[in-house]
Amino acid sequence: MGQYVIRRVGYCLLSLFLLSLTIFFFVRVTGDPAALLVEPGASADDIAAIHHQFGLDRPLWVQYGLFMWSLVRGDLGQSFYYQTPVFDLYMSRLPNSLMLAAVAMIFSLLVGIPSGILASVRVGRFWDSAGKMFALLGLSLPSFWVGLVLILLFSVYLKWLPSSGAGTPLHLIMPAFALGWYFAAAHMRLTRSSMLEVLGSEYIKLARLKGLPEALVIAKHAFKNALIPVITLAGINLVIMVNVAVVVETVFAWPGIGRLLYEGITFRDFPVVQGVVLLGGAMIVVVNLIVDILYAVIDPRIRLER
């Protein structure tokens, strides 16, 4: 198990390195760094100062060195709009996004897993077809449109739920639903195919041969095995949710990092944009690592391997 962990950690570090390299590359090479890194409406002196600060006239690898050096120290620059360090800004907004993502994830699992199991047990019949329809809709409806329609229905017409902001659990319902909708469909699909695969295995046959009631065969033997890939995906999806929540947060004015990204784009606040993307990516890589390790905990086979 030790070797496994070390190998995974190494891979994680490599990915982080490559991620920063990619971001750096794109900014320096494809954009006009001077324009981006400078506040809108800056004077010529300011531009010159920026040139000096970021070493824009020095060779690329030097620039990269400077970049990495500031990254390692946690310095992601300063937001033009808020005049505070990007890192602090991010960290203050992150809990909100995490909360939203967590609720959305719970929703998507509560809907996705049972419907996936139902579809797999009733393969080819009504519930399976219904499940497939649901999966298709989940993939075809943009999350922000779902959010907008929900607002129309529940805030404007029915006046039951608040349409924006955060603060009470009521504020959480619609954004979580809009965000979780797509992932519910994805989880349903995976649960279904995973269950189908497990249900075809020999140990399920033996479980039936033992005379176990079908409910036990499915709930105990099939379920736990089928759940492994789903949980893996769910873990990774949680972080992805945090990142792609940008639209949902914008629609509902939810004060998370997604909305921060939107503000960054709208106000041409590039350090914020860069910071959110970098930190988002880093979060994903780290969570991948954690999920890999958890995987080894759930599945006893991996513990003894490697």
**Does the protein bind another protein through residue 210 (CB under 8 A)?**
yes
Tokens standing for 27?
Answer: 């900014």
> Least distance (Å) from another protein to the CB of residue 226?
11
| Cα gap 226→113, rounded to integer Å | 10
- 45/140 with CB nearer another protein: 140
The residue within the footprint of another protein, chosen from 124, 158, 159, 167 (CB under 8 A), is: 124
**Does the protein bind another protein through residue 300 (CB under 8 A)?**
yes
* Binding residues among 174-193 for another protein as defined by CB under 8 A: none
Stretch that binds another protein, among 74-82, 85-93, 105-113, 151-159 (CB under 8 A): 151-159
Angle among Cα 191, 194, 195 to the nearest 5 degrees reads 80
| Cα gap 304→294, rounded to integer Å | 14
The residue within the footprint of another protein, chosen from 63, 79, 108, 163 (CB under 8 A), is: 163
Residues listed for the chain = 306
**Does the protein bind another protein through residue 56 (CB under 8 A)?**
no
> Least distance (Å) from another protein to the CB of residue 304?
7
8 Å CB contact between 187 and 234: yes
* Binding residues among 230-289 for another protein as defined by CB under 8 A: 240, 243-244, 246-247, 250-251, 261-262, 264-266, 270, 273-274, 276-277, 280-281, 284-285, 288
| Cα gap 190→233, rounded to integer Å | 9
- From 133, 157, 153, 136, select the one nearest 145 (Cα to Cα): 153
